[in-house]
């Protein structure tokens, strides 16, 4: 975890660390120990232990008495339960994602835009013997992922302009790292309506993504196919693109795209 700026108040740093600890335990998929958490966050065991104990005292985590490992506690589940259920994109698009997976055999990834990158909200595993996928909760770089390129191309122009002012890290020799390269890629995505990132974030891996819009025609997510470069070539199969677009259109209908326009038309004619 990168160190916060020196000018940040200590309370902000502590809050950031405790949230990072909670997220690490939540995304581990199984109970984990203090050493694993400290390693994941590049922090000292003593510092991480204090935060873990605070979260246990507040019931956000539970500690197994026999193994001393940590897992989510009742307070974490309560907070999740209290989150508004009416706008659960992952739950709404579950059938769409499963249908796309079944139609292509590839892993399907649903992502939402954040200032840090493309947040992986939900995934469906592919059916191939060797699986390439993305873990829910991951945040993918905007300039190096198909999902991120969708958000740059069809989302906030200010966010895209800001990104091009920052240093762009290279994850593989294929990553686009200069403003000129990324700007040209954004224009290509806008023109074609889809994005890909062949071997740009992981060698041997590619993803193919398109945008998802809601009832206000606002970009709210992207849906992507993820697989090996063997299954998603650098020049994607037009049939694969067509299937992705077909299920994306179905997903947009579930999210209410076009409803706002139809409602306004009804109001004008009533």
pLDDT digits (tens, 9 = 90+) for 153-207: 999 888 888 888 878 999 999 999 999 999 999 999 999 999 999 999 999 999 9
Q: Give the DSSP letter string of 34-101.
A: HHHHHHHHT--HHHHHHHHHHHHHTTSEEE-TTT--EEE-HHHHHHHHHS-GGG-HHHHTHHHHHHHH
pLDDT single digits (tens) 216-239: 899 999 999 999 999 999 999 999
Contact in structure between 254 and 134 (CB atoms under 8 Å)? no
Asked whether 226 and 205 are in contact (CB, 8 A), the reply is yes
**Which residue segments constitute the domains of the chain, with CATH numbers given?**
10-82 (1.10.10.10), 87-259 (3.30.450.40)
Q: In 10 A of CB 94, how many CB atoms? A: 15
SS3 state of residue 175: coil
CA geometry: angle at 22 spanning 21 and 24, to 5°? Answer: 65
Residue 256 near residue 214, CB atoms below 8 Å: yes
> What pTM was estimated for this model as a whole?
0.71
């Amino acid at each position: 975890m990168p160190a916060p700026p020196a000018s940040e108040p200590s309370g902000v740093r502590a809050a950031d660390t405790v949230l990072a600890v909670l997220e690490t335990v939540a995304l581990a998929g199984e109970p984990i120990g203090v050493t694993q958490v400290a390693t994941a966050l590049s922090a000292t065991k003593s510092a991480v232990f204090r935060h873990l104990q605070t979260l246990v005292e507040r019931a956000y985590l539970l500690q197994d008495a026999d193994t001393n490992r940590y897992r989510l506690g009742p307070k974490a589940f309560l907070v999740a339960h209290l989150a508004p259920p009416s706008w659960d994109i992952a739950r709404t698009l579950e059938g769409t994602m499963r249908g796309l997976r079944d139609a292509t055999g590839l892993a399907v990834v649903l992502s939402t835009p954040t200032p840090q990158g493309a947040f992986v909200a939900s995934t469906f595993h592919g059916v191939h013997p060797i699986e390439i996928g993305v873990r829910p909760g991951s945040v993918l770089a905007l300039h190096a992922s198909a999902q991120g390129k969708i958000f740059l191309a069809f989302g906030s122009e200010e966010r895209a302009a800001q990104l091009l002012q920052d240093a762009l890290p290279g994850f593989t020799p294929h990553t686009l790292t200069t403003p000129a390269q990324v700007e040209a890629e954004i224009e290509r995505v806008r023109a074609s309506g889809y994005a890909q990132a062949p071997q740009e974030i992981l060698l041997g891996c590619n993803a193919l993504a398109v945008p998802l819009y809601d009832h206000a025609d606002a970009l709210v997510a992207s849906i992507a196919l993820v697989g090996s470069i063997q299954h998603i070539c650098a020049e994607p199969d037009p049939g694969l693109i067509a299937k992705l677009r077909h299920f994306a259109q179905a997903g947009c209908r579930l999210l209410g795209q076009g409803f706002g326009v139809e409602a306004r038309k009804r109001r004008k004619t009533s």
